[in-house]
Amino acid sequence: MTSRLTILGCGSALPTVINNPSAQILEMCDKCFLIDCGEGTQNTIRKMGLHTNRLYSVFISHLHGDHCFGLLGLISTFGMLHRTQDLHIYAHQDLEKMLKPLIQYFCRDITFSIIFHNINPRRSEVIFDDRTLTVKTIPLRHTVPTCGFLFEEKPRRRHIETGEKPFSYAYCSDTGYKPSIVKWVDGVDVLYHEATYTDEYRASADKYQHCTASQAAKIAQKVNAKKLIIGHFSARILDQSVFLNEANAIFPNTILAEESKIYELS
């Protein structure tokens, strides 16, 4: 079963003409997950002609605007499209407190239910579980409570019959350098890891609790990832090839996230 990743935004806090803020769609086990929802997410979805009728779950890594400002607009649009399926949102409990009054004011006539699942970003736990996959939180190190997400396919008959291994995908943004995530994502097939800066801006990375491209590559190396995708690029670095060059020097199987691009993962 094919797993696919669509990059809707791979920039950091300041939007640019090249990158929107963080958002991506993961298609896995015949399900569709939205991971983070920065401003402009729904615009990219519509420009790409993507269908959202299978999008039932949204995972928000932390409550910085470049990861969640697009959520209210998306909910409003779903209402105008007469969506009827429930929408599940997994996030820090403060998102529900802030978003509910806005939904009641701007989206009072929506025809679907929004179900909030409050998560604790500071611990690793299963937050989604069905017959085909699980989603676990990955505690990260940032200026506000932040977690990544590990999507793991469950072993099924076809894996036994073909010898194929269940697929796994980890999303880690935003975070300072944190080698201890090895215990949660060791052996992951594809790792998406923030690489906000290059080593030239290491002081900024340390100050704002982000990573450089080389640090992201070192994490991929430590967790024995098969493939690394880097994103969350700083607006101050215009030539994004320097991110890839820096990461490739340490972890050769690195891909640079590109806006509006679809990656076949498995």
Just list the catalytic residues: 66
Could you count the other beta carbons within 10 Å of the beta carbon of residue 140? 22
Measure the CA–CA gap between 170 and 113, rounded to whole angstroms: 28
Beta strands (DSSP E) in 93-251 are 114-119, 126-129, 133-139, 147-153, 168-172, 190-194, 227-231
Q: What are phi and psi of 216, to 5 degrees?
A: -60, -40
Lateral strand order in the sheet of 4-9: 114-119, 87-92, 55-59, 31-37, 23-28, 4-9, 262-264
With vertex at residue 24, the alpha carbon angle to CA 18 and CA 30, rounded to the nearest 5 degrees, is 145
Could you count the other beta carbons within 10 Å of the beta carbon of residue 146? 25
Nearest to 93 by CA among 125, 60, 46: 60
Q: Which residue has the tokens 């950091």?
A: 12
